[in-house]
Amino acid sequence: MSILMKAKGLTKTYQMGEVPVYALRDVDIEIKKGEFLVFLGHSGSGKTTLLNILGGLDSATEGSLLFEETDMSELSDRQLTQFRRKNIGFIFQMYNLIPRLTARENVNLVTEISDDPMDSLEALRQVGLYERANHFPSQMSGGEQQRVAIARAIAKQPRMLFCDEPTGALDVKTGILVLDAIQKVNKTLGTTTIVISHNVSIAEMADRVVHLKDGRIERIDVNERQKTAQELEW
Amino acid sequence: MVMKKFSLLNLKLIRELSHLKLQVFSIAMVVGIGVAVLFGFTSTEESLRKSRDDFYKSAQFSDLFLRIKKAPLHAVHGLESIEGVTGVETRLEYDALLSVPDYIEPAVGHIISIPDGKQPTMNQIFLKKGRLPSALSEEEIIITEGFFKAHKFELGDIFHASLNGRKRQLKIVGVGVSPEHIFSLQPGSPLPDDFHYTVIWMNESALAASFDMRSSFNSAVLKIKPDLLVEGLIAKINQQMDRFGGVGALGRDKQTSHVYVREELKQLRVQAFSIPIVFFLVAAFILNVVISRMVRSQRGEIATLKALGFFNAEISAFYYKVAFVIIGLGSLFGLMLGAWIGSSMIELYGDFYHFPTLSYSFSIKHFFIAMGVSFLTASIGVYSSLRGIFKLSPAEAMRPPVPHMFHKGLLEGSGWVSALSTRSKMIFRGVTNFPLKALMTGLGLCFSIVILVSGLFWQDCMDFLLLAQYSFVQKETGTIRMTHALSPNSVHEVRRLPGVIEAEAYRNAGVKVRHLNQEKHSVIKGLPQNPRLTGFVNRDLVELAPPTQGIFVSEILANQLKVGEGDILEVEFLEGRKPVISLKVERILEGLMNVEILTSRKILAQILKTDDLVDQILFRSFSDSTLLYTRLKQMPNVLSVSYRDSALKFFQENSARFILVFAAILSIFAGAIGFGVAFNSMRVTLSERDWELATLQILGFTVPEVFRILLGEVIFLLILFIPFGWVLGYLNAKWLLSIMSMDSFQIPFIIDVGTYFWASVILVISTAISAWVIYRLIAQSDLVATLKSRG
Amino acid sequence: MIKKAVEYIKIPKKLFYGIVITVVLLLALWSLKPEFTPVDLGEVKTGVFHRLVVDEGMTYFLDRQTVSAPADGITPKLSLEVGDVVKKGQVLFSFLWDNDFKMKSDLDGYILKIYEKDRRHVPRGTPILEIGNPDSIEIQSKLLSEEVVDVKVGQKVIVKNWGKPQDLEAEVTRIEPTAVEEVSALGVKEQRVKVHMKITSDEKLWKGLGDGFRVEVSIVVNEIENAKLLPVGALMSADGKPAIFVFRDKKLHLTPVEIGFQNRNYAQLKTDLPEGTKIVLYPGSNLSESTKVKPR
């Protein structure tokens, strides 16, 4: 497998008055194409910060980040936006759907600015929501909304899929459904996937599990066998 | 404990306000303008009124005015003995042709006598410069300020007047004004002409000597007991004095200066209230939008306060305070602006109305009225936003609000909406799902247009009025009035004068016209056959044929008499044998600046059983006709010469400055409304949907793309409401015109397309400016932080 | 079905804004479109220019008789009225003197004026009545001495304002040699010369004309053939010199002109302008070359 992203010495500090706060300290990581990564850690461990930096939502104070050949630290805000637009699909805990657009329109929002998008109905079919295409978010359950978000994320056929606590607001059964959808995307479309969770069980789905603590990578475990979403229990 | 509660809330108040700096500013600005106009106009009106009333009182402005041909001095006793008359003063009044050094065209002086060397008992002269003529002087005179300034005279300067056929030298020793001539207008001219007209006050003996009126008088002014019915007295006076000739007694309501001043005050009063209403309404709208937003976002806090034991009133007080602080700031700004507006307007008025002293003063009453109105409208705005929250129980309120159930708006059934891009759909639904907010924002925007259209359309009307009058109705260069009705031969004489291209003669007769129970004083003008220098047009500027058999009556007069085409008017002539005759109204003239009755000279001669005499000659001449004017000045039977273009030019020059300033200020005001409404609408949307917009940025939309969605809602409203603003502006303008009908002009209702366009441009520009400010705000926002606040 | 079709025609945002901007621009152009000021147009004509001397005239029965008291005596109460027809030789009344003196009419005509209607004692020479012969009617006019120099016997005269709408024609018959001082209507001293004219129009047309009727006479002192005629209403001044506004190619051209004589309707145009040139009549004071105009 080839390397998609390479981070070296990533550090992120905030100034809280007099005291500097280290969200990330000297992080090195390589992300392989097509792999399924899970970032584990308690709140404050730096997992969200790392995800944000890798996804171009934030920039590191120190260190280098390469996406294929591009040095991300050299990119301006506008270029980072362009980068995100083309390459990254995001899924958040709170779905973040546009409430005044239907499921299909939420997906269209993204396909209209993509170079090579999937058909929006096809994306919805992939997550099993083809019949709900014309419904508004207020008419759908939490799980369905999250799956729409996944459809929206994959519709632009991104290189990478970033998920920040995708099941955090959902019950077990719905959560599994969502994770199943994410896994399917990773397996069938080959999209490099990073999932953040504080839930250890989810890590069993991953190729590799990155454990973070106090802004550093404690260790990286490799799973010999990836469990399917249905096999998970918590 | 109570103290602590309140000071906590006050701290919150200050923090809240500083957080909303820009919004506070924009609302305060709109309120301020409303207050400024209300305050400025009402205080100006009051200052003018006070100046007028003070002057009338101190100068003993008479109640009745009597002009007769000639009566012996002892006839005054008869007048004094009439029940209700408290004072009579006789005097001499004549018009004379003036010859001003270094000035080609003859001017006209309206001469009024004063008791030798003394102030008259009524209509006293306020001296702005110089002194009264000395008792024995035959040549010392006082003139009006306008004439003095126009010719750059100095005290002691000399000019000549043709008194009763003889040229006399006159010396200026004073410049003054009397309550009879606060507004100085030459009869026959619709606009004032300070170059060619002045009032002259002269010693009675000198005047009497020139006109051989040593023991007679031809003019009298009377004071009557207050609260007395004027008509009855006038009838009694006329009974006594009719045999001495003349038109009869007239009250103040026919006195030119008094009428003009009264109409001006009326206009001010109307504008003082009609303009600010719009601003206060807009401010109320915006406040409602902003405070509603504030309340919605603080829903949890309000619920907590209620749970803690605060009463509704105590919590509401906070929001009212927010609104009141904003209103207060705006009002303060408005007061200062209003005072500036008032004092500037007073100065501008000084050019046309020659009050003795025109000082700007205001009373605290106006201030309170203005503040009261603005606070009232604000309270309505706040109250309506709070009601929703207080209806809920604290527990309910502490739960996050049920998210708005979006639905496909109206019109989405038709195919074209789904054909829009998704982002456009966001814009469309953002508006249709919140109809109330959209309506208030839209109305606020279109009020900006209403303000400009209703303020600027007057100019369009005036432009048309002047175009019609001075290009199609009056085609002459000048008008000669003779001392009395003369042989029509006189027109040949004028034609032969050097520089004259053509000339026509007219005849005028003073009349009283009656129809049903209406009676009015008027003048019948007899036209020559095939008049060329007087035109008859309707409002579309189509030429009409002159009267042949009956009479034409101008619209204003016809309305006053309630008479229509085909009706019969009873006409009583006030000269000669005073015949009374019934005449058929052949046509009603959509007269613009004229209030008159027209017929042919021949018919007049037949009715009055005289030769075809004439007393007025209209002529066209080449300009720079020095020779012409020299000759006219030498003719004893020429009473006055007036010039069409001079009065127009004087008016246009003086009002141009005023109009420009007024238009600029009004545009700024309208822009303030546009800015205030657009800015606050976008600002509120921004804070309500900040996470939605952040999501878009994460999804890869650039800042400009996200901004365009926000802007799109306002643009959508603009497109919908700008035409609505045109319609509202049109209706408002029409209404304003109808309540300001005047006796002497009939202002045609015209709104130029350019006016609508300018109003729209101003609105678009002010919206664009607010959009730029909002863009800056978005560009600076930290999207990661926004997401964190939600997640 | 329509929905499907419309779906394919997605309106891109650029087009939407494009439409909006176009509408705004169109509105702008329309409102900035110059306002056309309406004007009245006339034309330069070619024709005969009549140079006129115009003044007031009065009808006069040349053949008249004033019957006066032949001596100190008494006039009777007359039964005659003004307008009564009398015949030559007819006895009018009896004048009481030493004996009844029969006063006779010397001519055919009618009574123009009666001075003494009632019985009265009058001195010799007192006019009693006047008779006139309408067939001897002429028109007399007192013309300004400056103008009379151009008047010649035999010149055509147009008579207007005599009572009926159609004009009458007359001819100059006699010009008196002496001028008399008079005061004009406007009060100015003038020298005037009496000129006599004979009506040449068909008698039927002016049957109603009496003695002492006011008329307006226009004596044609010169007829200039093939003259360029400029309607007098077009004249105005620019820099103190006569000028006109020519309307050509939808624009106004301020053209100084040289003019010769003027009569009531036309001025003799000396500047060379083609026949049919359109000109603005009674131009308003706001008109200038940059004003956009259209004929009313």
Concatenating the DSSP letter of every residue in B453-498 gives: HHHHHHHHHHHHHHHIIIIIIB--SEEEEEEEEE-THHHHHHHHST
End-to-end alpha carbon distance in chain A? 31
Select from B541, B649, B708 the Cβ nearest to the Cβ of C38.
Answer: B541
Angle at alpha carbon of residue C290, lines to C284 and C295, rounded to 5°: 55
Q: What is the mean pLDDT of residues C130-147?
A: 92
User: What six digits make up the tokens of B390?
Assistant: 């207080």
B residues 482-541 lying closer than 8 A (beta carbon) to C: 482, 486-490, 492-496, 501-502, 529, 532-533, 541
Cβ burial B666-704 (10 Å sphere, 16+ → b, else e): bbebbbbbbbbbbbbbbbbbbbbbbbbbbbbbbbbbbbe
pLDDT band per the 50, 70, 90 thresholds, residue C60: very high
pLDDT band per the 50, 70, 90 thresholds, residue A160: very high
Segment among A166-175, B318-327, B395-404, C141-150 with least mean pLDDT: B395-404
User: What are the residue ranges spanned by the domains of chain A?
Assistant: 33-59+69-227
Q: Is the pLDDT of residue C175 over 90?
A: yes
Q: Is the pLDDT of residue B352 over 80?
A: no
**What pLDDT, on a 0 to 100 scale, did the predictor assign at position B415?**
62
CB contact B402 to C (< 8 Å): no
Segment among B1-10, B611-620, C172-181, C207-216 with least mean pLDDT: B1-10
**What pLDDT, on a 0 to 100 scale, did the predictor assign at position B172?**
96
Q: CB–CB of B345/B44 below 8 Å?
A: yes
Chain B residues within 8 Å of chain A (Cβ atoms) = 403-407, 421-423, 425-426, 429-430, 433, 691-692, 695-703, 705, 783-784, 787, 790-791
What is the Cα gyration radius of chain C? 34
Q: Which of B783, B774, B666, B609 is nearest to B276 (CA)?
A: B666
Contacts of B416 in chain C (CB under 8 A): 6, 11
In angstroms, rounded to a whole number, what is the distance separating the alpha carbons of residues C195 and C51?
17
* 3-state SS class at A108: helix
Q: What is the mean pLDDT of residues C81-103?
A: 86
Q: What is the mean pLDDT of residues B596-614?
A: 90
Segment among B1-15, B202-216, C110-124, C144-158 with least mean pLDDT: B1-15
In angstroms, rounded to a whole number, what is the distance separating the alpha carbons of residues B362 and B346?
12
In angstroms, rounded to a whole number, what is the distance separating the alpha carbons of residues C293 and C36?
5
B707: number of Cβ within 10 Å: 21
Give partners of B (≥3 CB pairs < 8 A): A, C
CB contact under 8 A, A93 and B429: no
Beta bridge partners of C237: C242
CA distances from B139 to B109, B110, B117, B206, B217 (A): 14, 15, 12, 8, 20
Q: What share of chain B has pLDDT > 70, as a percent? A: 92
Q: Which of A90, A86, A105 is nearest to B424 (CA)?
A: A105
CA distances from B644 to B110, B460, B498, B649, C112 (A): 19, 21, 19, 9, 47
Q: Among B699, B701, B713, B783, which would you mutate to test the A interface (most chain A Cβ atoms within 10 Å of its Cβ)?
A: B699
Segment among B128-142, B322-336, B407-421, B505-519 with least mean pLDDT: B407-421
Q: Which amino acid is at B186?
A: Q
Q: Is the pLDDT of residue B188 over 70?
A: no
CB contact C295 to B (< 8 Å): no
- Which residue is closest to B428 within chain A, CA to CA? A100
**What pLDDT, on a 0 to 100 scale, did the predictor assign at position B268?**
85
Q: How far is C106 from chain B (nearest CA, A)?
A: 32
CB contact under 8 A, A101 and B430: no
CB contact C41 to B (< 8 Å): no
Tell the CATH topology of A33-59+69-227: Rossmann fold (3.40.50)
- Which residue is closest to B699 within chain A, CA to CA? A85
B364: number of Cβ within 10 Å: 7
pLDDT band per the 50, 70, 90 thresholds, residue C2: very low
Give partners of A (≥3 CB pairs < 8 A): B
In angstroms, rounded to a whole number, what is the distance separating the alpha carbons of residues B467 and C286?
8
Q: Is the pLDDT of residue A60 over 60?
A: yes
Q: What are the DSSP calls for B513-569, one per residue?
A: EEETTEEEEEEEEEEPSS-SSB--B-TT--B-PPPSSSEEEEHHHHHHHT--TT-EE
**What pLDDT, on a 0 to 100 scale, did the predictor assign at position B125?**
94
Q: How far is A148 from chain B (nearest CA, A)?
A: 14
Q: Which amino acid is at A65?
A: L
Q: CB–CB of B601/B462 below 8 Å?
A: no
CB contact C294 to B (< 8 Å): no
Q: Backbone phi, then psi, for C120, in 5-degree steps?
A: -155, 150
CB contact C178 to B (< 8 Å): no
In angstroms, rounded to a whole number, what is the distance separating the alpha carbons of residues A165 and A42?
12
CB contact under 8 A, A94 and B791: yes
Contacts of C264 in chain B (CB under 8 A): 502
**Which stretch of DSSP H or E encloses residue B769?**
helix B753-780
Contacts of B624 in chain C (CB under 8 A): 237, 240
CB contact under 8 A, B784 and A58: yes
Sheet order of strands, B85-91 included = B85-91, B216-224, B64-72, B248-251
User: What six digits make up the tokens of A28?
Assistant: 């090195």
End-to-end alpha carbon distance in chain C? 55
Give partners of C (≥3 CB pairs < 8 A): B
Q: Is the pLDDT of residue C234 over 60?
A: yes
Q: Is the pLDDT of residue C8 over 80?
A: no
C248: number of Cβ within 10 Å: 12
CB contact under 8 A, B502 and C232: yes
CB contact under 8 A, C185 and B486: yes
In angstroms, rounded to a whole number, what is the distance separating the alpha carbons of residues B400 and B299?
8
**What pLDDT, on a 0 to 100 scale, did the predictor assign at position C5?**
43
**What pLDDT, on a 0 to 100 scale, did the predictor assign at position C33?**
66
- Which residue is closest to B790 within chain A, CA to CA? A94
Select from B691, B701, B703 the Cβ nearest to the Cβ of A113.
Answer: B701
**What pLDDT, on a 0 to 100 scale, did the predictor assign at position C208?**
77
Q: CB–CB of B87/B223 below 8 Å?
A: yes
Q: Is the pLDDT of residue B791 over 50?
A: no
Q: How far is A207 from chain B (nearest CA, A)?
A: 26
Say if pTM beats, i.e. exceeds, 0.90: no
CB contact under 8 A, A105 and B422: yes
Query: pLDDT tens, C114-132?
Result: 998 888 888 988 899 999 9
Q: Is the pLDDT of residue B657 over 90?
A: no
Give the contacts of B262 (CB within 8 A, at least 6 positions apart). none
Q: Among A176-185, B120-129, B180-189, name the most confident range.
A: B120-129
CB contact under 8 A, B784 and A93: no
